[in-house]
Structure 1
Amino acid sequence: MSEPVESGTIRTRAGVEIAYEIHGAGPPMVFVAGLGDDRNSWAGQVPEFARDHKVVLFDNRGIGQSATPPGPYSIEQMADDAHDLARALKLEPVIAVGSSMGGAICQQWALRHPEDIKKLVITNSWAERDVFMGALVDHWMALAKEGQSQHILESLLLFCFSPGYLARKPETVKMFLETPAPPMDGFAAAAAACRGHHTLDRAAEIRHPALVVAGEFDILTRPELSQHLAQRMKQARYASLPTAHMVFWEMPDEFNRLVRGFVEG
């Protein structure tokens, strides 16, 4: 990933330091990471979109270079963090792109601060969790509270990537398992936010044009969860790719083409 043209921190109204960086120039796109991911998770998207957009990446509270306030967190709090970042950077209405927990954050961002948003891209996310997802998040929270960071990384690897991708990309396995784990208190607090996220009964209030993307083999947030969200939203288009949970990692070129077609449409 190229060097950013700007980086720094902002302080939210709640007093949380949020670290960000900017690549490129043009209409703003803000990328919102998922649980356990920092802003570097979007490395496969930056070169494509920084050619003609101001690409804003940031670390959610509890991970990366952002502060880790005491938890538990809520998705609403994290959406307000994104809003405060957009205001601090004086961004015009943005194209918000969020994966998994980041997609949940984008939903609440659009509901709480609709004036901030021009379009939404929500990938591998949910508006109402199912039993499996709830049980898995509970398991991760328990591991985090016990300080079992390596077990969390191993579990994330297995539940987020398809077997075929991991077989083709052994370097991804090595990099993932050697990456320093996020702070366990921040991870547990953010996992609690995921546990509490529910917007299905309000999804019809999101009137922005939206692209909802699913991975056909995603077992963490099953494609049906994305379909339910897209069906409730007023201006949503649904698409899927033959991947597991990390669509934008497994098939970055195809994902980027989907997003660009939506952005320019």
Structure 2
Amino acid sequence: MPYAIAPDGCRIAYQVEGQGLPLVLLAGQSNNHHWWDGIREDFHATHQTITLDYRGTGDSDEPPGPYSTEGLADDVIAILDDLGVDRADVYGTSMGGRVAQWVAARHPDRVRRLVLGCTSPGRGHGIERDNSIRAALSDRDRAVVRQTLIDLMYTPAWQATHPGPHNTLGDRNLTSNARRAHLMASHRHDAWDALPQITAPTLVVHGTEDVFNPVANAPLLTERIPHARMQLIEGARHAYFEEFREVAGPLVRDFLAD
């Protein structure tokens, strides 16, 4: 298992598959690289995919918090440096999209093309999820929380034919401290002032039925980032990249091939 050393000394585990142009794939909050299982292969005709275990997840170290999306972006740059990759395509979903915003804004020379999926510019200007969703995700009954997450990720039709296990519900071995650190990193994200500094051509992707990270965030990002365009996937919830893989995969591949 290769590791990169972050600026603070934290070891960040990463995984490399395929050949071609480097493509960094960034998972959602409290998740490790398995978020992309069964999906990363869609890019291997043209790209070498690079995933990571965020600090506190998978095989990476778990330093004490607080964590931040800016700091997680520094971890991504440490991996690119370890691999000797000067420039990569970056595709971030959910909290990974928040991390990707900082990678592209603070290191414009390192990002060739940027894809932001089901994500938000953050507090201050972003559209927050409904309080009823927050309440359900805070329920003491873990079974209720799990089903709430599944419903936020996937449509009932998908659930009926795909009972799981699902790779998007969080790292099963995540500690309570790491979970809290990830939650706060995502909650405190605010890249609004930095978004105009992004120079990479950008594709913003979102499911029209996403209420976990409300779809209203997609036009906010598109209008704020120069050279950005938006594509909504009709009927998709938060895990559009998995359930609507046959739509999302070609959409992103075509964008990266331009």
The AA in structure 2 aligned to 1:228 is: L
Q: Distance in 2 between matches of 1:176 and 1:204?
A: 30
Q: In terms of mean alpha carbon deviation, does 198-207 or 129-138 score higher?
A: 129-138
For the aligned residues, what is the CA RMSD?
2.4
The AA in structure 2 aligned to 1:21 is: Q
SS at match of 1:25: coil
Residue aligning to 1:130: 127
The AA in structure 2 aligned to 1:59 is: D
Q: 1:138 to 1:67 in 2, by over 3 A?
A: farther
Aligned length: 254
1:250 aligned onto 2:247:
no
SS at match of 1:120: strand
Q: Is the 8 A contact 1:133 1:221 kept in 2?
A: no
Q: Is the 8 A contact 1:28 1:53 kept in 2?
A: yes
Equivalent positions of 1:125-204 (< 5 A) are 125-128=119-122, 129-132=126-129, 152-172=145-165, 180-204=172-196
Structure 1 stretches of 4+ moved >3 Å: 133-140, 148-155, 175-179
The AA in structure 2 aligned to 1:219 is: V
**Cα shift readout 1:67-87 (whole Å, capped 9, x = no counterpart):** 111112111110111011111
**Unpaired segments of 5 or more residues in structure 1?**
1-6
**Cα shift readout 1:97-154 (whole Å, capped 9, x = no counterpart):** 10000000000111122221111011000003334368856875x67xx8x7665434
Q: 1:135 to 1:126 in 2, by over 3 A?
A: farther
Identity, % of aligned pairs? Answer: 27
The AA in structure 1 aligned to 2:16 is: I
The AA in structure 2 aligned to 1:157 is: I
Q: Is the 8 A contact 1:149 1:181 kept in 2?
A: no
The AA in structure 1 aligned to 2:6 is: T
Q: 1:152 to 1:166 in 2, by over 3 A?
A: same
Residue aligning to 1:3: none
Pick from 78, 98, 109: which aligns with 1:104? Answer: 98
**Unpaired segments of 5 or more residues in structure 2?**
none
The AA in structure 2 aligned to 1:9 is: Y
Residue aligning to 2:9: 15
**Cα shift readout 1:182-235 (whole Å, capped 9, x = no counterpart):** 222111101101111112233222121011000110001111101110111101
Pick from 44, 60, 67: which aligns with 2:61? Answer: 67
Q: In terms of mean alpha carbon deviation, does 229-238 or 63-72 score higher?
A: 63-72
1:58 aligned onto 2:55:
no
Q: Distance in 2 between matches of 1:176 and 1:122?
A: 17
SS at match of 1:65: coil
Q: Is the 8 A contact 1:154 1:177 kept in 2?
A: no
The AA in structure 2 aligned to 1:213 is: V
The AA in structure 2 aligned to 1:163 is: P
Deviation at 1:163, TM superposition (A): 2.4
TM-score, length-scaled by structure 2: 0.89
Q: 1:39 to 1:215 in 2, by over 3 A?
A: same
Q: 1:171 to 1:229 in 2, by over 3 A?
A: same
Q: In terms of mean alpha carbon deviation, does 176-185 or 202-211 score higher?
A: 176-185
Deviation at 1:41, TM superposition (A): 1.2
Residue aligning to 1:36: 30
